[in-house]
A and B are shown apart, each in its own frame.
Chain A
Amino acid sequence: MFTAVAEASRRDLLDAIGTDEVTVGELVDRTGLTQPQVSKHLAVLREVGLVTVRVDGRRRWYRVNGAALRTIHDWVRAFERTWNARLDRLDDVVAELQHQERHT
């Protein structure tokens, strides 16, 4: 799932969709990517559940799955919080070691 958002143009595509429901043609206009590029990235994003599609006659409408995006963001943030707490404690430990070295 992370690889899907790791590529910059896929993130740009998610930004371009935003909170709208859009067609491939609209995304081509908004991003400057070619239609095959947009379709390829949308396929990846759909595969991992980041984008959903609604079929309306001959048109396909794409929308960002906000809940899935939040999960990725939350995972990385939670991991970052764990390591921030650890490394803040490590910082205190090395500060104390430095203090001891200066006074021995």
Chain B
Amino acid sequence: MTINRTNRKGSAVVTVPNDTDIVVTRRFDAPAALLFKAYTTPELVKRWWGFEGSQWVVCEIDLRVGGQWRFVTREQTPDGEIEVGFHGEYREIEAPHRLVSTEVFEGVPDAEALDIVTFDEAGGVTTMTMTVRHSCREHRDAHLAAGMESGLQVSLDRLEDAAIGLAAA
């Protein structure tokens, strides 16, 4: 049996609806339970989180309220190799539909954000909505701007081109 999967590559949408939030939405042709599993299992997280060419250093998930998560990757930049770390604490876990945790970029430890991820399944399609809620506009804007300064953008552009090439093939 062949399964016709909708091509959803490159379909994530980012909005900035107010002063403090960044909202990412994307649909998947998969049950919420599998998305939740891929989101919270270290061996699976290592396959999608991070950046193109990331080498994993730490991928720890203690999935319980009050438990910690920490992701550290090693990245190649024009200035040499750098380690990029993020960590946080789980606040709400309602598998497989809702996950709330704090998020701290270890390069800017004062700017703690709240990540609210929901997986809403209907008719075999699951809509993922990730809200990154900062405490103020300055931290939120810095978070967005960080993507421009990472030196990783060129490789992400190449990845996007590769994905478009595959989709067209």
Contact = CB atoms under 8 A, between A and B. Distances in A.
Interface of A: 1-3, 6, 74-76, 78-95, 97-98, 101
Place the interface of chain B in its size category: 35 or more
Contact of A86 (B19, B48, B145): B48
6 contacts: A75-B141, A78-B144, A81-B160, A91-B9, A94-B34, A97-B44
Interface string B2-46: 000100111111101111001010101111001101110000100
Dominant SS among interface residues on chain B: mixed
Contacts of B14: 76, 79-80, 83
Contact of B9 (A83, A88, A94): A88
A93 B38 contact: yes
Contact of B148 (A2, A78, A84, A91): A78
Contacts of B34: 94, 97-98, 101
B10 A86 contact: no
A81 B28 contact: no
Interface of B: 5, 8-14, 16-19, 22, 24, 26, 28-31, 34-35, 37-39, 44, 47-52, 128, 130, 137, 140-141, 144-145, 147-148, 152-153, 156-157, 159-160, 163
